[in-house]
Amino acid sequence: AQSVTQLDSQVPVFEEAPVELRCNYSSSVSVYLFWYVQYPNQGLQLLLKYLSGSTLVKGINGFEAEFNKSQTSFHLRKPSVHISDTAEYFCAAVSGGYNKLIFGAGTRLAVHP
Amino acid sequence: DGGITQSPKYLFRKEGQNVTLSCEQNLNHDAMYWYRQDPGQGLRLIYYSQIVNDFQKGDIAEGYSVSREKKESFPLTVTSAQKNPTAFYLCASNLLGNTEAFFGQGTRLTVV
């Protein structure tokens, strides 16, 4: 089955600490992978994407992600978080010829002072 | 400014009523999508359309209908057959052959 799994539903972290949000995908989906961020009552904003090439992808707001084909993972990292990073983060993969996005269930990142 | 506009931002529906959510884009994108978001479940695909006058069911199409009469517009109707319509609805679009999708700001539908 085609699926994207986000391993943590909530991640609490203190300000200026590093954070990693985990994402695994099933091998039946394509390896076009994305991370989106959603602030309360808003739409989704693209953080970064992996289509091909370098396995380390840098995105906006200091986030980066590493594509690991052998572990079918695409974990999101930030070396030092800020209060403003508090939001919900979604991992997604493209499925099929119509560019359909399959989303994980989301990870709520809560940054505490 | 180019983008996707969803309206209204908040919508209340009485049981048994049909309601229509608007989604308009001026990005000249070919494909448009409707997703439903429930807490802890991520986003689930309702319907999508690649070209005008053509659309396909997603994973949870029952109780919903769409039309694509113009490239810029992809309205979603939540019918009375949808038993649990209270949710946050997101519209998205992209260019065919380009995987990046752009999202609207969402419509929160509540049944009263």
Least CB–CB distance from B99: residue in A36, A43, A99: A99
pLDDT at A58 over 90: yes
Note the pLDDT tens digit of each residue in B46-103: 999 999 999 999 989 999 999 999 999 999 999 988 889 999 999 999 887 667 889 9
Chain B contact set for A106 (CB, 8 A):
40, 42
The CB density around residue B44, as the number of other CB atoms within 10 Å, is: 16
% of chain A exceeding 70 in pLDDT: 91
Distance of alpha carbon B20 from alpha carbon A89, whole angstroms? 28
B31 in contact with A, Cβ within 8 Å: yes
* Integer Cα distance of A12 and A65 in angstroms: 19
- Burial of residue B64 (CB within 10 Å: 0-12, 13-18, 19+) is buried
Length of chain A: 113
Of A36, A99, A101, the CB nearest to B96: A99
Residue B11 near chain A (CB below 8 Å): no
Chain B residues with beta carbon closer than 8 angstroms to that of A43: 4, 6, 90, 103-106
**Percentage, residues of chain A above pLDDT 90:** 69
Interior angle at CA A43, CA A88 and CA B34, nearest 5: 115
Q: What's the token pair of residue A27?
A: 């091998």
**Cβ contact A89:A21 at 8 Å:** yes
Q: Do A99 and B101 touch (CB under 8 A)?
A: yes
Q: Within a 10 A sphere around the Cβ of A68, how many other Cβ atoms?
A: 12
Q: Which residue of A has its CA nearest to B41?
A: A105
Distance from CA of A76 to the nearest CA of B (A): 17
Question: Distance (Å, rounded) from C-alpha B58 to C-alpha B68?
Answer: 15
